[in-house]
Structure 1
Amino acid sequence: MKSPLHVILPGNFIRGRYAKVCHVHRFVGYLVLNSPSESSLSTIRDMIITIIALHIVSIAARIYETFESLPGTKFDFVIVGGGAAGNVLANRLTENPSTTVLLLEAGDTNIGALSTAVPFFCTRLSNTLYDWNYTTTPQAGLHGRSIGFPRGHVLGGSTSINGLFYTRGSFEDYDRYANVTGDDGWSWKNLQKYIRKNEDFVPPADNHNTDGQYNPSVHSTNGINAVSLAGYPQEIDKRIIQTSRSQPEFHFNLDLNSGMMLGLSWLQTTIRNGKRSSSATSYLGPMFIVRPNLHVLINTRVTRVLPSEMEVGDRLTFDAVELAVTSEAPRHIVIAKREIILSAGTVGTPHILLNSGIGDEAELTALGITAFLHLPDVGRNLSDHPRLASNWFVRGNLTFDMINQNLTLSDELLSRWTTVQQGPLVDTFASHLYFSRLSIPLYGDPSAGPNSPHYELALSNGFVGSVPAEGNFIGITTRVVSPMSRGSIRLKTSDPFDSPLIDPGYLEEDFDILTMREAIKSARRFVAAPEWKDYILEPFGALAKATTDDLLNDYIQSGVGTSAHPVGTVSMSAKNARYGVVDPDLRVKGVSGLRVVDASVLPFIPSGHTQAPVYIVAERASDLIKEAWKM
């Protein structure tokens, strides 16, 4: 009989204050028990030992659930947001034992959040307690639809709920940042040491021979966050590689993370030993979280940053962070003796700045918010990668569709993953990526240069999207990775607990819909290659009827959603530029004591998925901060 194992956990486990009866799957996964075999009992013993070990770590760790439990209210640095950037900063700044750091996270701990640890379950994390559950404004370019806009609401931020893709972007992406900011430190060449500080390239879960699947010379094995190749072979792998050899359009690229992205490559992901490697599991891992100078407060919202009561020169100084658990709860204050660092993300950071009176003065005044600093670009320049999933029926049943269609099979595979971290659940939903350019951009070229892509195809051994009850599929996700369209983050009300107005402006520029249309045509050419003749049957759903450009446009506008890659709302610009929000050292223009480190500072969206670029930005930012304070 299948049932979850129950145990009595020690008091004060992880963050609770009382002994509890808990499901093991809430903390270390669950095990489907069919018989009390010796191996099962051994596994149970190992799981209980793991629970006790985590409990011991939790006692030493400075993780707090309430403001009242903090050891004080003044810290050298207060970091707002425990996502990719925030956790890098918390780790690097506490390398100096005399420096105190308070890391604030609005969500809960990632410890014990099973679905965030299983790579294949990444598609099940939207609209859960681990997601802010945002919705966009109605999008004119999407036939007036409002769509979900996932952002991580858990320690690790979006690195705990994303698709785990590790793509750095093109070398031209970073060189453009350097040119725009006038700071050569943001160039591809000068960021290499930070790429290596971040990355720990590890063997795949199945330890297969990876020769010819990546270029070891462009990777590091000495970093903190794990990166690996797929750990479970897929039925379509050989056909994909054969297609890249027979069809020049889809030429093979040994390693898309070399800075040269164009072509078809094996996907690299943030996975270690079959488990998600997030910023929480890596930069806040057991060997770091126990530092006595690192304090982490979870389940707490930052409502505003506040100016200091002490004025320094002619610049306003911010040193206070206002906190609350709910809109009705009391507000508390913590003080940053050196800096407040906003790492709340492309939505959260401008939301906090605007509520703090930093933004467009007229718009803030209209909402009854005192404007401390007129920076009209706060919340502007929002950019994201439009995403569309297309699917085709295939012969055979060696796809991952049955994992989502058959609950019993899913449970059995989860049991295997829990015990030995093997099987199809050790991977994300895609296996290969293809990046390409339009031959002649008709509306100008928004990419960073001639070696940077305009669109991406992600190839999946199964249906991408809401999986039908039956059938086997191949899925191809198309993205516009160099979009022209821009949107914004604005306040709805003056209540910091009200979600902001998120307007990504999807497909508002003709270039973007043209590029998505060409990406779908490229996907059709891919599946029409001879290697797929005996395998692919026919398109699924509305794709089959989209036979003209006008019908393709309708298919696109009816189906496009977010890649969850937003950037740009607190963009960096040159030191003396009259536009932008932060200087090249990521300090907010016109004030002291306030810095921003997250995806919002990127003035242009990178042509790859945004997880790796944010890690890279945060690693360099850590050094900029250390240099500023002679740490």
Structure 2
Amino acid sequence: MKRASEVADYVVVGAGSAGCVVANHLSADPSQRVVLLEAGNRDTSPWIHVPVGYFQTMHNPNFDWCYETAPDPGLNGRSLHWPRGKVLGGSSSLNGLLYVRGQREDYDHWAQMGNEGWSWRDVGPIFEELETFQRPGGGEGRGTHGPLQVSDPRLRRRICELWIEAAKANGYPYNPDYNGPVQDGVGHFQLTVNKGWRCSSAVAFLKPIRDRQNLEVVTKSQVRRVIIEDGRATGVEVQHPDGSRAVIRAGREVILCAGAIGSPQILMLSGIGDQAHLRDHGIAVQHDAPEVGRNLQDHLQARLVFKTREATLNDEVRSLFNKAKIGLEYALFRTGPMTMAASLVFGFMRTRPGLATPDIQFHIQPWSADSPGEGVHPFSAFTQSVCQLRPESRGTITLQSADPLVAPRIDPNYLATQTDRDTIVAGIEIARELARTEPLKSAISEEFRPRPDVQGYDEVLDWARMNSTTIYHPTGTCRMGPDDGAVVDPRLRVRGVQGLRVADCSIMPEIVSGNTNAPAMMIGAKLARMVQEDRRAGA
């Protein structure tokens, strides 16, 4: 196993969606030495690169941290699996490949909260620079020369097209580009897929620069803590699989890109967090920062399943013969079900009049399963997944142990506010209404989950509590803000410690209205830009 050099200018912790972008941009200057550390393995498994491979990688400890939440009162005491990528590329190597920037108003709101430089006018061009949108003609604000390949799906299924028609019959417009000027409407998802292969952050941002002499990418190296001397981050302590430890010094900065769970955990293990909590675990306090690990937000999804009168992907993958046909189609043409993302069709809608922007998102899947990692149901069915885009509920990440190898405690605190409860109930009822609208209605043989006899606000809410699950978008635990209580300032510098920044979805003051992979990459690129600006300015 390769071991990192003992000294670098920048040490980047976490080779995930944001970390790969940070390493790419900072190492573009050959005078700056960058070490990128990843706790997981290299992305050599073919299941990572085949789009539908998330069925094999999620919940697999070779690729996934396999986190579990604490029992959640809002879910009637249930615990949830929280997959997070533990491999080169991070969660972009095992996610559902959906490319969603979020609403422009999300970023304008961040700026209105005092985060200068984070409005849509500031970040929109970064999204554009990162991507190559492969659709002929592109579109307003869409990139054509970036390393991240974004494409339309190579797979369509009739049940999803019927859902679109039912939505249109209910007054929802067809939107050919929800990443364009307007998010509202229904249509087909865009994917981080290039010619039938997954385009993870590692593929897009590391693979093309693997020969740079000033960049070291080191896997199987878990960071135990940031080393802080005289109020400055000077390096990290790393643990290797054999149990040995090493110190890697950072001449300029340490940059945490370990995600909304990993980054606050590392900060707390390093002595940055609520001082009482740190002392409870015997950790010397370097800086009292009570908000580290707070402000946790996630999109909770209610997955409604409908049995159908016509075949769906559940049927296509049931026999060995059909599986062989699917495999052959992919091998010959890079098309078919093996190119499938987690969902084919989207809907961005409002649950009530007066909302300025959509507050719920639908993910429509031509298959059904209890979990993507557990296989499909043994009957013809499809799924309407609906989630609240801007939850008010806030949870926490806290330490369970001072041992870095022990996962932190995750308390999502789902459905803790009346608005969140009202929104998920309304979303479920909209899904039911769409299912009872032609032409979709005729294709459905049974409302399977929930059953038709689940009626009224209280019963629907209880069903949601017993059946909803994460849609894998944890954010907010190292909140960015202009106030002294925020964990990082608008330039993503950790308050109270010099030479230390955070760049991942943990910095979001409020979760974006959509999937979080694309925003994570934008955050990485913006961080690198700010680091370079500050270096030139001598800051």
Q: TM-score over 0.5 for the alignment?
A: yes
Distance 2:322 2:484 in 1: 58
- Aligned 8 A contact 2:37 2:217 in 1: yes
Counterpart residue type for residue 498 of structure 2: S
Counterpart of 1:530 (choices 438, 450, 457) is 438
Indicate the residue corresponding to 1:477 in structure 2.
385
Residue number in structure 2 paired with 1:375:
289
Instruction: State the partner residue of 2:101.
Output: 168
SS at 1:591's partner residue? coil
Pair 1:253-2:175 in alignment = yes
Matched ranges for 1:368-517 at <5 A:
368-397=282-311, 399-439=312-352, 450-466=355-371, 470-517=378-425
Question: Take 1:507 and 1:101, find their aligned partners in 2: how far apart are those partners?
Answer: 42
Query: Which residues in structure 2 correspond to 1:595-606 (within 5 Å)?
Result: 595-606=501-512
Amino acid at match of 2:129: K
The 8 Å contact of residues 453 and 482 in structure 1, kept in 2 or not, is answered as no
In the alignment, structure 2 segments of 5+ residues that lack a partner are none
Q: Identity over the aligned pairs, expressed in percent?
A: 33
- Quick one: higher RCO (CA 8 Å, sep 6+), 1 or 2? 2
The alignment status of 1:318 with 2:251, answered yes or no, reads no
Q: Distance in 1 between the 2:185 and 2:335 partners?
A: 30
Structure 1 partner of 2:18: 85
Q: Per-residue deviation at 1:297?
A: 0.6
User: Matches of residues 601-620 of structure 1 in structure 2 within 5 Å?
Assistant: 601-620=507-526
Q: Is the 8 A contact 2:103 2:512 kept in 1?
A: yes
Match of 1:354 in 2: 268
- Give the direction of change, closer, same or farther, for the CA distance of 1:542–1:526 in structure 2 (3 Å limit): closer
Q: What TM-score results when the alignment is normalised by the length of structure 2?
A: 0.95
Aligned CA distance change for structure 1 residues 482 and 589 (closer, same or farther; 3 Å): same
SS in 2 for 1:391: strand
Structure 2 partner of 1:623: 529
User: How many Å apart are 1:413 and its aligned residue?
Assistant: 1.7
CA RMSD of aligned residues (A): 1.8
Task: Determine if contact 1:393/1:538 at 8 Å carries over to the other structure.
Answer: yes
**What are the Cα deviations for residues 596-619 of structure 1, in whole angstroms up to 9, with x where unaligned?**
000000010001100111111111
* SS of 1:544 mapped into structure 2: coil
1:38 alignment partner in structure 2:
none
CA distance in 2, matches of 1:339, 1:227: 32
Q: Secondary structure at the match of 1:556?
A: helix
2: distance between equivalents of 1:549 and 1:147? 24
Q: Shift in Å at residue 408 of structure 1?
A: 4.0
2:145 pairs with 1:222: yes
Report deviation, 1:259.
Answer: 4.6
Q: Give deviations 1:532-552, integer Å, cap 9, x for gaps.
A: 233111111443331222221
Shift of 1:118: 1.7
Residue number in structure 1 paired with 2:490:
584
Q: Following the alignment from structure 1 to structure 2, what is the Cα–Cα distance between the partners of residues 524 and 275?
A: 34
Q: Which amino acid aligns with 1:458?
A: H
Structure 1 residue 469 displacement after superposition: 5.0
Shift of 1:193: 1.6
Cα distance, 1:182 vs. partner? 3.8
Q: Give 1:419 deviation, angstroms.
A: 4.1
Contact 2:156 2:344 in 1 (8 A): no
For 2:333, the aligned partner's letter is V
For 2:126, the equivalent position in structure 1 comes to: 194
Counterparts of 1:558 and 1:589, CA distance in 2: 40
Residues 124 and 480 of structure 1, relative CA distance in 2, 3 Å threshold: farther
Give, in whole Å, the separation in 2 of the partners of 1:84 and 1:468: 28
Q: Indicate if the aligned counterparts of 1:141 and 1:507 stay in contact, CA closer than 8 A.
A: yes
Aligned-pair distance for 1:290? 1.3
The CA distance in 2 between the partners of 1:235 and 1:465, in whole Å, is 22
- Mapped to 1, the partners of 2:377 and 2:186 lie a distance apart of 31
The 1:136/1:241 distance shift into structure 2, 3 A limit, reads closer
Q: Secondary structure at the match of 1:261?
A: coil
Going from structure 1 to structure 2, the CA distance change for 1:402 and 1:124 (only over 3 Å counts) comes to farther
Unaligned runs of 5+ in 1: 1-64, 204-209, 442-449
The one-letter code matched in structure 1 to 2:105 is E
Residue identity in the other structure for 2:49: A
Query: Residue 98 of structure 2 contacts residue 342 of structure 2 at CA under 8 Å; is this kept in 1?
Result: no
Tell me the distance in 2 between the aligned counterparts of 1:246 and 1:613: 32
Aligned residue number for residue 266 of structure 1: 188
**2: distance between equivalents of 1:504 and 1:401?**
31
1:323, distance to aligned residue in structure 2 (A): 0.4
- What is the deviation of 1:199? 1.0
Question: 2: distance between equivalents of 1:89 and 1:339?
Answer: 12
Q: CA deviation at 1:481?
A: 1.2
Contact 1:464 1:476 in 2 (8 A): no
Indicate conservation of the 8 Å contact 2:369/2:376, yes or no.
Answer: no
Which of 206, 209, 221 is the matching residue for 1:300?
221
Aligned residues of 2:305 and 2:450 also touching (Cα < 8 A): no
1:418 CA displacement: 3.3
Q: Which residue of 2 aligns with 1:563?
A: 471
Letter in 1 for 2:124: Q
Q: Does 1:277 align with 2:183?
A: no
**d(CA) in 1 for partners of 2:510, 2:75:** 22
Superposed displacement of residue 510, structure 1: 2.1
Conserved? CA contact 2:51–2:197, under 8 Å: yes
Is 536-545 or 129-138 further displaced after alignment? 536-545
Note if 1:114 corresponds to 2:46. yes
Shift of 1:87: 0.2
Trace 1:38-49 onto structure 2 (pairs within 5 A): none
Distance 1:408 1:333 in 2: 53
Q: What is the letter of the counterpart of residue 125 of structure 1? A: T
SS at structure 2 position matched to 1:629? helix
TM (normalized to structure 1)?
Answer: 0.82
SS of match in other structure, 2:488: coil
1:474 Cα deviation from its structure 2 partner: 1.9
Please name the residue that 1:338 is paired with: 252
1:289 to 2:234 alignment: no
Question: Radius of gyration: which is bigger?
Answer: 1
**Which of 382-391 and 546-555 deviates more?**
546-555
Instruction: From the superposition, tell whether residues 418 and 100 of structure 1 become closer, same or farther in structure 2 (CA, over 3 Å).
Output: farther
2:426 corresponds in structure 1 to 518
User: Which of 154, 158, 162 is 2:87 aligned to?
Assistant: 154
Point out the more displaced range, 429-438 or 377-386.
429-438
